[in-house]
Structure 1
Amino acid sequence: MIEDEAPADPVASRRPGYLADLAGGVDRFFEPRRARCPWCDSAAVRGRVRTTDLLQHKPGRFGLDECRDCGHVFQNPRLNPAGLEFYYRDCYDGLGEKNMTAMFAGNRAGYRSRAELARDNGAAGAWLDVGTGHGHFCAEAAAVLPGVEFDGLDLGDGVELARAQGRIRTGYRGLFVDLAEDLAGRYDVVSMYHYLEHTAEPRRELAAARTALRPGGLLAIELPDPECRWAQLLGRWWLPWLQPQHLNLMPLGNLRAELAGLGFTVVAEQRAEPHDAIDVLAASLMAVNALTIAGEDLAWRDAPPARWRRILRKATFVACVPLFVLASIVDRVSAPFGRKRGWSNAYRVVARRDAA
């Protein structure tokens, strides 16, 4: 009798591909550096954050610049398509799918809050969730909005999983700006929850949403708030910077003006309610993770770490549990008053497409 072969180590099986990608260095993953703001074209640009990949710890250094005229924050130099593919790989799918699925599934209160805001402003009919991931929002929102039919759109495998598990009715896989004309006038609601910051040209994405919406339809958006005071206090350790994945972060005023120019009327805004009380805890976890990352088996490194490094990494995390508990307490205690005084880490907007 022939015994079944042991399952392949998923990290080891990916290592040759990653090492081949890195053989030529990481400079090839970036576009030329910009001298002007991509939002308002001002030359008054200054550095805001310089960091590394604190999520997956893939090699490379990344920068976010800020426009002193309009406040827009943007990755500079920006990743090109090859760079986006490299740094997104194994984050939401593959090696990272289990952790990301657990994180997204745990945000039920946030999903319901988004759905309730849309419901209170007349959401009904056919809904397209752009950047749907694994469809967790749609599954939770269905309980708040009975009768609404949810479709999803994304680039990754998650959209197919969401459809197979019944979280969405129809799944579209591809770029929204490429598919928008085929979806023209088909939807009563389009949502973009923590999606625009991942896109290279957010203005084109907003225009695509207008195309997909029927006149009078709603566009619902949630974004990290670059004006959040936690961002100033925590620097590169503020989780919503999320380098190298976040390419553009728009202040609320910029988004509001752009929507008006596209023929939308803003009907609701929230700056306190979307706050996720995790800033200090996330910073603490990322710092300890970065300190001990030599003990993690990463597919983009030449070889697995020595056993003693693995043990030291685990022991350090155990020893830091009191720090994590304290950080979580700070987040929770500060949230009720801080989120109303400029400390909220996200904002929401609901806008109605004008009939004309």
Structure 2
Amino acid sequence: MTEPRTAVPQPRTAVVDALRDAYQAELADGTDRFFQPRRTDCPWCGAHQLRARLRTRDLFQYKPGHFALDRCDGCGHVFQNPALTEDGLAFYYRDFYDGLGEQRLGGAFGTRRRTYLGRARSVLPFAAAPERWLDVGTGHGHFCEAARELFPTTVFDGLDLSAGVELAAQHGRIAHAHRGAFPDLPGLEGQYDVVSMFHYLEHSTDPRRELAAARQVLRPDGLLLIEVPDPQSRYARLLGRWWLPWLQPQHLHLAPAANLRARLAELGFTVLLEQHAEAHDPIDLLAACWLLLDALAPREDAPWHPGTPPGRLRQALRAAVFLAGAPALLLAALADRLLARAAGPAGLSNAYRLLARKDG
């Protein structure tokens, strides 16, 4: 078997320069076309009891635009309002997981083996050796690669919208790559014993369709494993816009656990397991500190920023901000670790995990 060929990465400055004209042309008419009309009802329960939950900008790429999250007082669902159009989703996702962002995020996802194994272990008491497993929103397939240690006989397939799923197949992390929107892919009905969705549903435009699609591809008594951010986390209130899981403009829907449990029951699932402390990722304070420093520092070069690229002085000032903030970052990381054990009882868990069985 030959090793897959990997393209030699270009210097970031060259990539940015090559993209600049196209981005500036796309932004010439502003960002209004990237947003749908604002809705007055909850997309989860239909209630008209909405209130503003968060107003922010893109704190990750600093692409232009302002974003709003509303909360339904009827069911607690939090959703982006106004939501992005298809053009908006394409614009704000571009160069985050692929292109400019691929190397940075691909490396970060590849270092989370312990997290992936923890997710996979939640299935072991209910299915020791599933035959086929579909990981929806698999990215570069790192979860599947790690989970194979616990399930050596299981065939892992991956599904994603990005080209990362094809790279995952090339590198042998998954057996088959399915690229496209999950509800629209044909030929998968009744093929899988386990379907996993890790931090995927919050990115979808219609979580209900995604859950229905999962039921379609599962065999009778198959398992659906879901992990999503918890909008009821106390960190969400304490940290405000600096709470990492808000992740605007990418996170479109954040459902409380009770809502998701009820929807699964309506679709014919029985929830077998609900975990909060086990799904917590101890990164809230560190991420908030990093985002704050990044907001204070001069911007790094990016093709969607107008004006001339930053010179050496601005680059030096940016480095100085992070150097000065290094002690705060270290303290935040230590605090995250110290508080991790109390995250569940204290209501600080930033995510929750549900395992449900498709009723035969």
TM-score (norm 2): 0.95
Shift of 1:61: 0.5
Shift of 1:339: 2.6
After superposition, residues 1-356 of structure 1 pair within 5 angstroms as 9-122=14-127, 124-179=130-185, 181-294=186-299, 296-302=300-306, 303-355=308-360
Q: Distance in 2 between matches of 1:310 and 1:91?
A: 21
Q: Deviations over 1:158-217 (max 9, x none)?
A: 0010000000000011000101x4200011111111000000000000000000101110
SS at match of 2:69: strand
* Counterpart residue identity of residue 256, structure 1: R
Q: Deviations over 1:95-128 (max 9, x none)?
A: 0011111211121111001100012221511000
Q: Distance in 1 between matches of 2:305 and 2:176?
A: 39
Segments of 5+ residues of structure 2 without an aligned counterpart are 1-9
Shift of 1:40: 0.4
Shift of 1:293: 3.7
Q: Distance in 2 between matches of 1:161 and 1:15?
A: 26
Q: Is the 8 A contact 2:280 2:343 kept in 1?
A: no
User: Higher helix share goes to which structure?
Assistant: 1
SS at match of 2:348: coil
* Counterpart residue identity of residue 149, structure 1: V
SS at match of 1:64: strand
* Counterpart residue identity of residue 165, structure 1: H
SS at match of 1:49: strand
Q: Distance in 2 between matches of 1:257 and 1:85?
A: 31
Identity of aligned residues (%): 57
Q: Deviations over 1:290-321 (max 9, x none)?
A: 11143x10111233112211110011111111
Q: Distance in 2 between matches of 1:293 and 1:135?
A: 34
Q: Distance in 2 between matches of 1:274 and 1:121?
A: 18
Q: Distance in 1 between matches of 2:99 and 2:134?
A: 25
SS at match of 1:69: coil
Q: Is the 8 A contact 1:74 1:249 kept in 2?
A: yes
Q: Distance in 2 between matches of 1:354 and 1:131?
A: 24
Shift of 1:56: 0.8
SS at match of 2:187: helix
Q: Is the 8 A contact 1:263 1:353 kept in 2?
A: yes
Q: Distance in 2 between matches of 1:122 and 1:194?
A: 22
* Counterpart residue identity of residue 265, structure 1: T
Deviates more, 1:119-128 or 1:88-97: 119-128
Q: State the partner residue of 2:4.
A: none
Shift of 1:338: 2.7
Q: State the partner residue of 1:3.
A: none
Q: State the partner residue of 2:6.
A: none
* Counterpart residue identity of residue 305, structure 2: R
Q: Is the 8 A contact 1:271 1:340 kept in 2?
A: no
* Counterpart residue identity of residue 118, structure 2: S
Deviates more, 1:48-57 or 1:120-129: 120-129
Q: Deviations over 1:111-155 (max 9, x none)?
A: 001100012221511000000000000000000111010000001
Segments of 5+ residues of structure 1 without an aligned counterpart are 1-5
Q: Distance in 2 between matches of 1:288 and 1:91?
A: 20
Q: Is the 8 A contact 2:195 2:218 kept in 1?
A: yes
SS at match of 1:166: coil
Q: Deviations over 1:6-63 (max 9, x none)?
A: 9780011011111111011011000000101000011100010111101111010001
SS at match of 2:190: coil
Q: Distance in 1 between matches of 2:276 and 2:89?
A: 30
